[in-house]
Amino acid sequence: MNRKLRVTVWNEFRHERKEKHPARTLYPDGMHAVIAKALAAEPDLEVRTATLDEPEHGLTQAVLDQTDVLTWWGHAAHAEVKDEIVERVQQRVLDGMGLIVLHSGHLSKIFRRLMGTACSLVWRELGEKERVWIVSPGHPIVEGLGPYFEIPHAEMYGEFFDIPQPDNQVFISWYQGGEVFRSGCCFYRGRGKIFYFSPGHESFPIYYQSEVRHVIGNAVRWAAPVATSGFREMHLFPNVPVPLDPIPGLAESK
Amino acid sequence: MNRKLRVTVWNEFRHERKEKHPARTLYPDGMHAVIAKALAAEPDLEVRTATLDEPEHGLTQAVLDQTDVLTWWGHAAHAEVKDEIVERVQQRVLDGMGLIVLHSGHLSKIFRRLMGTACSLVWRELGEKERVWIVSPGHPIVEGLGPYFEIPHAEMYGEFFDIPQPDNQVFISWYQGGEVFRSGCCFYRGRGKIFYFSPGHESFPIYYQSEVRHVIGNAVRWAAPVATSGFREMHLFPNVPVPLDPIPGLAESK
Amino acid sequence: MNRKLRVTVWNEFRHERKEKHPARTLYPDGMHAVIAKALAAEPDLEVRTATLDEPEHGLTQAVLDQTDVLTWWGHAAHAEVKDEIVERVQQRVLDGMGLIVLHSGHLSKIFRRLMGTACSLVWRELGEKERVWIVSPGHPIVEGLGPYFEIPHAEMYGEFFDIPQPDNQVFISWYQGGEVFRSGCCFYRGRGKIFYFSPGHESFPIYYQSEVRHVIGNAVRWAAPVATSGFREMHLFPNVPVPLDPIPGLAESK
Amino acid sequence: MNRKLRVTVWNEFRHERKEKHPARTLYPDGMHAVIAKALAAEPDLEVRTATLDEPEHGLTQAVLDQTDVLTWWGHAAHAEVKDEIVERVQQRVLDGMGLIVLHSGHLSKIFRRLMGTACSLVWRELGEKERVWIVSPGHPIVEGLGPYFEIPHAEMYGEFFDIPQPDNQVFISWYQGGEVFRSGCCFYRGRGKIFYFSPGHESFPIYYQSEVRHVIGNAVRWAAPVATSGFREMHLFPNVPVPLDPIPGLAESK
């Protein structure tokens, strides 16, 4: 693809607008603004944003049709995301759009619907250290990294994380308090690709950290749609009455 | 487990009750009766049935709580299955119950919800030959089989089949008319296990075929719940405030 | 299978015979004796042992032919294992025998040959705490366990562990000093199944720990051969000149 | 990566030099010449060739060090490939070089060594039709394709194909005579990536077919090395005596 990849950075954008919430100080214009700015600095990416409180959550059919990869951050208001929009996003993913689900997005309607599982986990918010280990060093999402990187203060997310076994497991995190977590997970679904990446939190400056931003950029490129032709839309299941190859003794078959 | 595995064979049971439908001749008491009888002949299985038109589709919480493995056949009336029952079955699967999805069950609400994809495919009903090849000969589901078996007259199901890549691919089918199909697919979800098996059709005597019955029996045993303790219910995502291991310099951490 | 599963517990058995080595105190008759005794206490298992310094390393063709599942512990003398015996074991695995590779067996000739990778890792021997987390709670290998178990004093094995991505990832370990490790890994190869399980060390009493013994027993049952018929030996690649199905217009094809 | 990808096309180059062999007519300068010319027409690829009868089979350490992706075609002379060269190629793959194994290369020493299995299959040479179906339509290797493509006259390769389950299954082939085959398979190994692609034969003009050439080009890009830093060479397994995180009560641990 020679044109730029079109990325839409979606954010719930509620914590950052609450008075006295740490998110307001850390991300005064919203986490989406910080993530979008980081991605827009890449020469091959073209970035827009969308948030929950916009009409249709900013995710009209037109916006989605012009989106190659969507990133998703939600937490407190998962339930407010309208089912028809979730349906629309799922359809676009199955038809090829990439989806990057960030941190607490693990409980979003869209991620749970695409995984088919509860996507639950255990958690703790002490600001402990997280060390993100690479377990698939040939995968394009780890380009530019070394064997691990650290997040100085993180919310702990721990196993058992109720997801399908990823098609490619890229990262596994270690936490100071005793847990592990499958923190970077690739999934192929329909014609689309999904990457779940747990680092990132509204009360820590994790989206300012260079490794985290770098991984999100790599993930966007990995999740880019693949141009194919002739595949039906995924919700269709056509009858194909005439066989491709003749069947001996079968009249209809020529 | 020394007690018998408790299997519930679920069937939509509509085709078989239609006048002049071939299913009525082939399966006068319903496909569930034929499948249940085959399974009940195994000394380690205890079998009951349930159908769409029973109250709660025969799947009360009590029935599900006493079911180790549920088999599912549906086709014309997927839409009539109540969402609350689908939710209940999904929760039981995530909490450990096995699920065997048969043939046209690929478009059932429960399978689509657990897969997260459209589960669509292409199809053709000429009664052509299907040859089911084994591609995982060490898997317990193929116990007792040889390199392939044939179904003399089958409905064709063809790729692209919109499912997640299976955790273990067991069977791939060849069709006379030119298609291939991933016809035996294992999925781990939550604490449960799911097997999709495409052979079987309301208008062909496929559920009388010994290999097909044998595979369903093997699949039931493979999908049996695994006894563990201390796992939360999958829809919960508990906060665990105190770390398992002390964190240096952190007061809460002891 | 109604007869007992036949298990052969293989051990290098060198550390335990060195004067003043901690292994001598911990495992005076060898780690194989301790593992074999634990397994032999199970009513469905029949156990024998074999060690490096026996003729043919105790792994004659006759012994292997009567072995359903082989467990392997080696460390200091991997290079002394004869290539022809390694070849013989590999062939048996591809033809259906189960293989459980323990701890430092990750660098054994047989495991590296079956994986095709270097199977290297990083390590540290401080006796720190290891916490073994379950990430596949529906897998039969975790039967009887809770969300995690602890090993009070362990050798650290850390990522990047150079193995193929497991077919089923069962355990991931956390170490006090900052690493994670894929400590329980299932692989299907040929008609056989392989489980790598890292806990266990010559200088710690890990093979006396109930959870570790329990996992090895579960793994033996999971890795049991599956009875099939008609599969060729895996090293053969036969020509099959006559097609199974007639090819229109092709004379040879009838 | 802004520079061109450096591809080395390796060929046994024996069939094509035999008098009266069909390969001589079809590929007078060798299959490598035809494949290399196709790849060299791509603006992002830089291509060289190497063959069995060159010194060190054309695969000196210097050549491999300057190769990003190696393609491999061998058939009659697998046994003549020197073990030390195989070792060298394996090491480069584990350290990041991509490897595309073509057709009868399934029995090459390098592929069997990297897979750990026999890589055997069944085969038939009648020139029947092969239909290559896509089962992973979001994968970059299928870019530019539709749901399937046909090879008018092919050698049949059939299951059971003794390989590890691929990390991503991309293609499954249908054959007129009754078999299926996993014909496009992705494997991650060490820091490298491997793609096995079965279409291609010395006696059929398959390497002139546009879809086949296109897939090989896509596979080369997918298998390109990923730039990382700090990963050890894969054959090393270093001791890391000092923990990354302090261990309470442990003197060495600071």
C-beta atoms of D146 and A96 within 8 A:
no
**pLDDT band of A250, cuts 50, 70, 90:** confident
Cβ proximity of A156 and A179 under 8 Å: yes
With 90 as the cut, is the pLDDT of residue A118 above it?
Answer: yes
Give B69's pLDDT tier (boundaries 50, 70, 90). Answer: very high
Cβ–Cβ below 8 Å for A179 and C248: no
Contact B180 D133 (CB under 8 A): yes
Q: What is the mean pLDDT of residues B196-221?
A: 97
Neighbours of B92 (CB within 10 A): 21
Evaluate if residue B237 carries a pLDDT over 90: no
pLDDT for B249: 77
Instruction: Kindly give the pairing relationship between strand A5-11 and strand B192-197.
Output: unpaired
Query: Which residue carries 């007129």 as its tokens?
Result: D176
Alpha carbon distance A155, A106 (integer Å) = 14
The DSSP bridge pattern shows strands A168-175 and D69-73 to be: unpaired
| Furthest C-alpha separation in chain B | 78
Question: Quick check: B5 pLDDT over 90?
Answer: yes
**DSSP result, A177-243:** TS-EEEEEEEEEETTEEEEEE----TTSGGGGSHHHHHHHHHHHHHT------SPPPTT---B--S-
pLDDT at A249: 77
Q: What integer pLDDT is reported at residue A63 of this predicted model?
A: 98
| pLDDT (tens digit per residue) in A11-30 | 999 999 999 999 999 999 99
Q: Residues of B with CB below 8 A from C225's CB?
A: 138
As a whole number of angstroms, the distance between CA D133 and CA B181 comes to: 9
Model pLDDT for residues D103-136, shown as the tens digit of each residue: 999 999 999 999 999 999 999 999 999 999 999 9
Any CB–CB contact under 8 A between B231 and chain C?
yes
- The one-digit pLDDT tens for each residue of chain D (254 residues) are 579 999 999 999 999 999 999 999 999 999 999 999 999 999 999 999 999 999 999 999 999 999 999 999 999 999 999 999 999 999 999 999 999 999 999 999 999 999 999 999 999 999 999 999 999 999 999 999 999 999 999 999 999 999 999 999 999 999 999 999 999 999 999 999 999 999 999 999 999 999 999 999 999 999 999 999 999 888 888 899 899 998 887 765 54
- Contact in structure between C110 and C86 (CB atoms under 8 Å): yes
Q: pLDDT digits over A168-187, tens only?
A: 999 999 999 999 999 999 99
Q: Quick check: C124 pLDDT over 70?
A: yes
Is the bond into A171 cis (omega within 30 degrees of 0)? no
Distance CA C62, CA C71 (A): 17
Q: Do D159 and B172 touch (CB under 8 A)?
A: yes
Would the pLDDT of B56 be above 60?
yes
C contact chains, 3+ CB pairs < 8 A:
A, B, D
Q: Alpha-carbon dihedral of residues D236, D239, D240, D246, nearest 10 degrees?
A: 140
What one-character-per-residue DSSP string does chain B give? --SPEEEEEEE---GGGSTT-HHHHH-TT-HHHHHHHHHHTSTTEEEEEEETTSGGGG--HHHHHT-SEEEEE-STTGGGS-HHHHHHHHHHHHTT-EEEEEGGGGGSHHHHHHH-S----EEEEEEEEEEEEES-TTSGGGTT--SEEEEEEEEEEESPP-SPPPSEEEEEEEETTS-EEEEEEEEEETTEEEEEE----TTS-GGGSHHHHHHHHHHHHHT-----SSPPPTT---B--S-SS--TT-TT--
Rounded to 5 degrees, φ, ψ at D38 are: -60, -45
- Give ipTM to 2 decimals: 0.96
Reported confidence tier of residue B251, pLDDT bands at 50, 70, 90? low
Q: Tell me phi and psi for residue C182, to 5 degrees.
A: -80, 90
CB B165 within 8 A of CB A168: no
pLDDT at C1 over 70: no
* Cα C22 to Cα C12: distance, rounded to the nearest angstrom: 16
- Cβ contact D147–A190 (<8 Å): no
Residue range A198-242, pLDDT digits in tens: 999 999 999 999 999 999 999 999 999 999 999 988 788 889 989
Nearest to residue B128, comparing CAs of B182, B185, B204, B76?
B204
Pairwise pLDDT comparison (A250 vs C254), residue with the higher score? A250
- Could you tell me what percent of chain A has a pLDDT over 70? 98
Q: Are strands A69-73 and A5-11 parallel, antiparallel or unpaired?
A: parallel
Judged by average pLDDT, the poorest of A135-144, B10-19, D69-78, D235-244 is D235-244
Residues A247 and B128 sit within 8 Å (Cβ to Cβ) = yes
Tens of pLDDT, residues D154-183: 999 999 999 999 999 999 999 999 999 999
Query: With contacts defined as CB-CB under 8 Å, which chain B residues touch A253?
Result: 126, 177
Confidence of residue C251 (pLDDT cuts 50, 70, 90): low
- Name subunits touching D (3+ CB pairs < 8 A): A, B, C
Q: Using DSSP bridges, classify how beta strands A98-102 and A148-158 pair: parallel, antiparallel or unpaired.
A: unpaired
Cβ–Cβ contact D152 with C under 8 A: no
State which amino acid sits at residue A14. Answer: R
By CB atoms closer than 10 A (0-12, 13-18, 19+), residue C25 is exposed
Q: Which residues are CB-neighbours of D212 under 8 A, at least 6 positions away?
A: D151, D199, D200, D206
Q: What is the pTM of this model?
A: 0.97
